[in-house]
Amino acid sequence: MTLCEVCARLDIEQLGDTDVRFHPNLKSLQQSAAAKCPFCTLCYTRVMDNTEDSVTDALLNDRIPENYEVECFTPSVWLRGEMRQGNRGVGKDLQGCGIWISCGRLYPDGGLGEINRPGMPFTSRLSVFASQNTSAAFKYIDRLSTADHDPDLYISLASWRLKRCKASHTLCNPASSDMPTRIIAVGKPSEKPQLVTTGGLCEPYLALSYCWGPAQDTFTLTHETKAELFSGVAEEKLTRTHQEAIQIARSLGIGYVWIDALCILQGDADDWAFESQRMAQVYGNATLTIIAGRSSDAREGFLTNRLRQKVPPCALRISAHSEETLNVCLPRSTTVGPVSTRGWCFQEEKLSTRAIVFGQEQMIYQCREEQNWEDGQIKFHDLTPTFLAPGVSGFGGACSPADKDATLDTWYRFVEIFTMRALSNPHDVFAAIASIAKLAQNVLGSRYLAGLWEEDLVRGLLWRPRPQVQAHPLCKEPLTRPRPTPFAPAPVIRAPSWSWASVEGPILRAYDRNPGRFRDSNHVKIKPNPGGTGWTADENCDVSVLHMPACELQMVGRVAKVVLVKTGAREWLLADNSRRKWLTYSRMLRHAVLLTSPGEEGSDANSDGSVVAAGVFDVLEEAGDHEEVYCLPLIEKEGLMVVPHGNSWKRVGWVELRSWAWFEAQPEIEVRLV
């Protein structure tokens, strides 16, 4: 298709230097798109996809959108380029090269007029990229790789980024050159991949992070296939994802690749237990991790980007005096893909010093210092060392309170993300994050109790189901107890009731601007059992323990019996004038129950003084299972909803306290929380 007369006069340098009046109005742009001008089609498609229907409907029908005045409104469509050679710029985050489309000039207009206030009715952006092996590619780093355009871009992108990272990024150097126990020697394309035992071998290798998928008959390392793998396996027996990982290693000139299904003995519990605790070394020491983000099934592969945009890219000249071109296209998603929903893959990504991610619509090269998207976006990370980079973290020797607070903050943030992900085997909940926990323990020096740290136990106990307290597009469904799967028959009991791992679904940590308050005896309302060994005598909890279905906490606290009022809680709380003083999370109102003090017969929630707390059951569907509950305050305003369990107590929910004075009047007793 041929550019229209207006677009034929456009060039990248012109757009980069000044605002360009493109069309007198959106209707004119629509007509040019209908006449098949490729650039006008791109612009019109992007505006229509990115703008509210009420706005485009008004503009296409010669009406002024709401909230604009006739006297000062301009319907004109403008372009402005945002071009950076090499994407050089100032700031923590940089967008790739692009072209803005706006109704009225973009701010600031420099007093030149044709600007709309308040705000522009629409502002949309197109991406710009250079094709590989063109002269423009030496100036601009923005790229596009699909099945139809530069499909082998991953080779040059990974090679260039890896070389640059090795030369200039101190934080990205692996702490050790130790290799995994077993690894695949890829050989030449004419040779069979072969499993080898590394022994004292120290060679660069790749590691693979991917989704296995539903198939249970794919070729893996077992006692039956071990001899075949050690002698060399026919490549066609492997899943497509495994074949493509081997292909990448060969293309980059790296002789080895680690793939869990081919390097850990499947069905051997002892080998799995040993190897699953070495993920920090496996991924941390890898030269590069391949993250097969866009694939949900290892049989399908991941190398080919099958993106088909609504409108194909379009070429524009770089300058009026040159035939050299850059390409313009619709923006691409930065979403990683199915891998970002899997529990094991979270740890694999966080432990990797460098990775190339084959995302849903584009590739990403990421390391400890920055992330670089295929489309030119760059995000620079905070270079403050963390516990994830042993050897270069600056956390050697005795760790300061600030180091520990930073580690705890990162840990809680990681748990929030991890609990948003799924596990094929729910019993893997601790194993799938064990290597991160081990690195955190090196800083904290604390016992690890079923996902919580003993030295910060009170804050750890105050987790909440995320959908109950915070709106999030990926966290809408209520939490459940861990559900059975083909790998885990019912009942699935994988953690004590007080651990976030006792439920399935996203949780949110307790938040406090001053984490030291959780270690302040005036703020904290429970304490370890006198004469005991900390918060528990249980010796079966630690980062090296991969299954922790039970652990008893022993403490002294005030357990108070309350009356459970399940109906009318929302209305009562909305009418409570003191609500803002004690109820932190307004979102909890839709699920809350009232907890009232046991009073004279006939007392109810209508008496202001009788409501001592509001609570929410961790698993909402369990509310019908309980008619009698108790409160265990942990800090002055927050605590747990518990129920008797033999001679112990079990957590069933969380509470916010309306009257600490009432709880303070209750006697302290020995509490065993299981």
Between 38-50 and 26-34, two packed helices, what is the crossing angle to 10 degrees?
Answer: 130
For residues 79 and 15, give the distance between their C-alpha atoms in angstroms, rounded to a whole number. Answer: 7
pLDDT mean values, one per 10 residues, the chain (674 residues)? 94 89 98 98 98 97 91 93 74 88 82 82 97 93 96 95 93 88 98 96 97 95 98 98 99 98 97 96 97 98 97 96 94 97 98 97 96 95 79 59 91 98 97 97 96 97 96 92 93 97 96 82 92 90 96 97 95 93 91 88 55 97 96 96 98 96 95 98
Q: Is 321 helix (H, G, I), strand (E, B) or coil?
A: coil
CA distance to 12, 131, 656, per residue, from 325 (Å): 8, 9, 62
Q: Which of 651, 622, 489 is nearest to 555 (CA)?
A: 651
Q: Residues 251, 253, 254, 256: what is their CA dihedral angle, to the nearest 10 degrees? A: 70
Backbone angles phi, psi at 181, to 5 degrees: -55, -45
Task: Classify residue 112 as left (phi > 0), alpha (psi -120 to 50) or beta.
Answer: alpha
For residues 471 and 488, give the distance between their C-alpha atoms in angstroms, rounded to a whole number. Answer: 31
Count CB-CB contacts under 10 A for residue 299.
14
Helices (H), ranges, 285-400: 343-351
Task: Classify residue 500 as left (phi > 0), alpha (psi -120 to 50) or beta.
Answer: alpha
Task: Classify residue 154 as left (phi > 0), alpha (psi -120 to 50) or beta.
Answer: alpha
- Predicted local confidence at residue 639, as pLDDT: 98
For residues 533 and 99, give the distance between their C-alpha atoms in angstroms, rounded to a whole number. Answer: 64
How many helices (H) does the chain have, and how many strands (E)?
A: 19, 29
Long-range contacts of 23-27 (CB under 8 A, 24+ apart): 23/76, 23/77, 24/75, 24/76, 24/77, 25/59, 25/62, 25/75, 25/76, 25/77, 26/56, 26/59, 26/60, 26/75, 26/77, 26/103, 27/59, 27/60, 27/62
- Predicted local confidence at residue 601, as pLDDT: 43
Helices (H), ranges, 38-189: 38-50, 53-60, 153-168
Q: What angle do CA 639, 641, 647 make, to 5 degrees?
A: 110
Could you tell me the sign of the dihedral formed by the alpha carbons of 348, 354, 358, 361, in that order? positive
For residues 306 and 359, give the distance between their C-alpha atoms in angstroms, rounded to a whole number. Answer: 11
- Predicted local confidence at residue 25, as pLDDT: 98
- Predicted local confidence at residue 602, as pLDDT: 42
Residue by residue, what is the 3-state secondary structure of 238-255?
CCHHHHHHHHHHHHCCCC
- Residue 441: in which H helix or E strand, if any? helix 434-444
Long-range contacts of 242-248 (CB under 8 A, 24+ apart): 242/208, 242/298, 243/301, 244/292, 244/301, 244/302, 244/303, 245/206, 245/208, 245/210, 245/290, 245/292, 246/184, 246/186, 246/193, 247/303, 248/154, 248/155, 248/158, 248/206, 248/290, 248/303
For residues 264 and 262, give the distance between their C-alpha atoms in angstroms, rounded to a whole number. Answer: 6
Is the distance from CB of 589 to CB of 580 less than 8 angstroms?
no
For residues 10 and 343, give the distance between their C-alpha atoms in angstroms, rounded to a whole number. Answer: 48
For residues 497 and 504, give the distance between their C-alpha atoms in angstroms, rounded to a whole number. Answer: 12
Is the distance from CB of 494 to CB of 501 less than 8 angstroms?
yes
Cis preceding-peptide flag for 491 (omega within 30 of 0) = yes
Is the distance from CB of 382 to CB of 476 less than 8 angstroms?
no
Is the distance from CB of 423 to CB of 417 less than 8 angstroms?
no
Q: Which two tokens stand for residue 243?
A: 């074949």
For residues 355 and 376, give the distance between their C-alpha atoms in angstroms, rounded to a whole number. Answer: 17
Amino acid at position 556, single letter:
V
- Predicted local confidence at residue 88, as pLDDT: 62
